[in-house]
């Protein structure tokens, strides 16, 4: 293993035990966790990470977004560090591995460096980004977006959870507890960012691969369609006078589903929310508002399909009116080839069967991509299940992923910043 100076010191058992230990914060009855952003449970889990880091001499830092960094100092502290990490917040009924793996694998990389007796040229920092999931404070990826300058601090601080508490208040509570964790400015330069994550899909398992080198993240557009009709009596109003907003919305959703189908089954089209007013069994609906989530890895196709949505809705409106508003347009992105090559070489070096794979889900790496050279790897999760208490990953796969990360981080931290 002489050619693997750092990866040979990755301890798969320690990595596994830390997943189990972190899963105690916000533990649920069926094996999952409820550890939403800036909750008591997440703050406690974060303190545990700080304890683990300090035990091997890592220096913790935080910033105005509540991101947590654990710094392994490099031989030249003036050089921008290599960031490695993900998130430790979860959905209300999330699993033990989503996000957590990327953070714990980064910490394991630092453990491996310590055990090897080597010091990288650049500092390596484990990072846990604040609020990736966006279940309590929507939308997610807040910490990485603020760090990368993609959103304004004032706009994010004003976001409120369903109970009315603001991000600002929740962050203050967190930062008051972290009195001994120093603050640094948002958006300090970084040489690179690496994120390891469970796949959250079935491809690696089906292909019998241990590691996926992520080529990029597919594009996403979201819309809100508001259909306006007129309230009327279910027993007396004849069809000829009805302006039934729910019926029109149903026709639109059906027509959209047909229009968005492709033979290759690449397009992802979802209507996940429908709000009906007044939502009463014996009243013709006056208003129906539904969400549209459209994703595709090709920028042109995403543009073309998304641009058809308003016309398709209008064609199905009948006696009602419809307004379609776009809420988000994140184009697809491709991670730099240099970083993908470093990750692929690392996978081959540690003997992990690997493949190139596209990411269907968004990750913190989306925002970091526009900030510094960024790459991702996936490891399999059982049956592709995620955002579910049943989420599961194999100990050996997690260890293999951490070894790939270790070798790739060692390369990135040993020389000039890649392009
Ligand atoms: Zn995640």
**pLDDT in single tens digits along all 419 residues of the chain:** 446 889 999 999 999 999 999 999 999 999 999 999 999 999 999 999 999 999 999 999 999 999 999 999 999 999 999 999 999 999 999 999 999 999 999 999 999 999 999 999 999 999 999 999 998 998 899 999 999 999 999 999 999 998 999 999 999 988 888 778 999 999 999 999 999 999 999 999 999 999 999 999 999 999 999 999 999 999 999 999 999 999 999 999 999 999 999 999 999 999 999 999 999 999 999 999 999 999 999 999 999 999 999 999 999 999 999 999 998 899 999 999 999 999 999 999 999 999 999 999 999 999 999 999 999 999 999 999 999 999 999 999 999 999 999 999 999 999 755 54
Residue 95 CA to ligand 1 center (angstroms) comes to 10
Three-state SS for 225? strand
Residue 94 CA to ligand 1 center (angstroms) comes to 10
Residue 98 CA to ligand 1 center (angstroms) comes to 5
Give DSSP secondary structure letters for 365-409: HHHHHTTS-EEEEEE--GGG--SSTT----HHHHHHHHHHHHHHH
Residue 392 CA to ligand 1 center (angstroms) comes to 14
Residue 248 CA to ligand 1 center (angstroms) comes to 36
Is 121 in contact with 79 (CB distance < 8 Å)? yes
Question: How far is CA 49 from each of CA 19, 56, 114, rounded to the nearest angstrom?
Answer: 11, 11, 17
Q: What is the pLDDT of residue 37?
A: 96
Q: What is the pLDDT of residue 1?
A: 45
Q: What is the pLDDT of residue 331?
A: 93
Residue 222 CA to ligand 1 center (angstroms) comes to 19
Residue 412 CA to ligand 1 center (angstroms) comes to 23
Residue 175 CA to ligand 1 center (angstroms) comes to 23
Contacts within 8 Å (CB) and 24+ apart, 334-338: 334/215, 334/216, 335/214, 335/215, 335/216, 335/365, 335/369, 335/374, 335/375, 335/376, 336/373, 336/374, 336/375, 336/418, 336/419, 338/373, 338/418, 338/419
Query: Cα(67)–Cα(30) distance, rounded to whole angstroms?
Result: 29
Residue 87 CA to ligand 1 center (angstroms) comes to 7
Residue 394 CA to ligand 1 center (angstroms) comes to 17
Close Cβ partners of 372 (under 8 Å, ≥ 6 residues apart): 80, 83, 189, 190, 191, 192, 193, 417
DSSP designation for 8: G
Q: What is the pLDDT of residue 418?
A: 54
Ordered domains of the chain (ranges, CATH): 7-217+333-412 (3.40.630.10), 219-330 (3.30.70.360)
Taken in order 226, 230, 232, 237, the sign of the CA dihedral is negative
Q: What is the pLDDT of residue 288?
A: 98
Residue 201 CA to ligand 1 center (angstroms) comes to 12
Neighbours of 151 (CB within 10 A): 18
Question: What pTM did the predictor assign?
Answer: 0.90
Residue 360 CA to ligand 1 center (angstroms) comes to 12
Residue 195 CA to ligand 1 center (angstroms) comes to 10
Close Cβ partners of 281 (under 8 Å, ≥ 6 residues apart): 234
> Which residues, by Cβ under 5 Å, contact ligand 1, an ion?
98-99
Residue 118 CA to ligand 1 center (angstroms) comes to 31
Residue 168 CA to ligand 1 center (angstroms) comes to 23
Question: How far is CA 46 from each of CA 65, 168, 226, 268, rounded to the nearest angstrom?
Answer: 14, 18, 41, 34
């Amino acid at each position: 293993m002489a050619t693997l100076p750092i990866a040979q010191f990755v301890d798969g058992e320690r990595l596994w035990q830390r997943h189990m230990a972190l899963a105690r914060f916000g533990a649920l009855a069926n094996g999952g966790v409820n550890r939403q952003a800036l909750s008591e449970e997440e703050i406690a889990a974060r303190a545990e990470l700080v304890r683990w880091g300090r035990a091997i001499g890592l220096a913790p830092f935080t910033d105005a977004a509540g991101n947590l960094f654990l710094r392994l100092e490099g031989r030249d502290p003036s050089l921008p560090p290599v960031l490695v990490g993900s998130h430790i917040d979860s959905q209300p009924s999330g699993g033990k591995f989503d996000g957590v793996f990327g953070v714990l694998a980064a910490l394991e990389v630092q453990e491996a460096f310590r055990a090897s007796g080597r010091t990288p040229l650049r500092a390596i920092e484990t990072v846990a980004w604040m609020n990736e999931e966006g279940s309590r404070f929507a939308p997610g990826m807040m910490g990485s977006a603020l760090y990368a300058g993609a959103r304004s601090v004032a706009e994010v601080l004003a976001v409120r959870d369903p109970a009315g508490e603001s991000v600002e208040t929740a962050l203050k509570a967190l930062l008051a507890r972290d009195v001994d964790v120093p603050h640094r400015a948002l958006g300090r330069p970084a040489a690179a960012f690496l994120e390891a994550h469970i796949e959250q899909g079935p491809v690696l398992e089906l292909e019998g691969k241990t590691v996926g080198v992520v080529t990029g993240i597919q594009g996403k557009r979201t819309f809100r369609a508001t259909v306006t009709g007129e309230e009327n009596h279910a027993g007396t109003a004849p069809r000829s006078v009805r302006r039934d907003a729910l019926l029109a919305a149903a026709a639109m959703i059906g027509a959209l589903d047909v229009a968005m189908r492709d033979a290759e089954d690449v397009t992802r089209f979802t209507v996940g929310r429908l709000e009906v007013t007044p939502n009463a069994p014996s009243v013709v609906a006056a208003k129906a508002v539904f969400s549209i989530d459209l994703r595709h890895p090709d920028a042109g196709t995403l543009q073309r399909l998304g641009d058809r949505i308003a016309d398709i809705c209008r064609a199905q409106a009948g006696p009602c009116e419809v307004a379609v508003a776009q809420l988000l347009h994140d184009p697809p992105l491709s991670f730099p080839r240099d970083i993908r090559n470093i990750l692929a070489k690392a996978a081959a070096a540690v003997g992990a069967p690997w493949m190139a794979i596209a990411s269907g889900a968004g990750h913190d790496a989306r925002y970091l991509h526009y900030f510094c050279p960024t790459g991702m790897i996936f490891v399999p999760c059982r049956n592709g299940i995620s955002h579910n208490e049943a989420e599961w990953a194999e100990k050996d796969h997690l260890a293999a992923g951490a070894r790939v990360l270790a070798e790739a981080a060692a390369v990135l931290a040993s020389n000039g910043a890649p392009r």
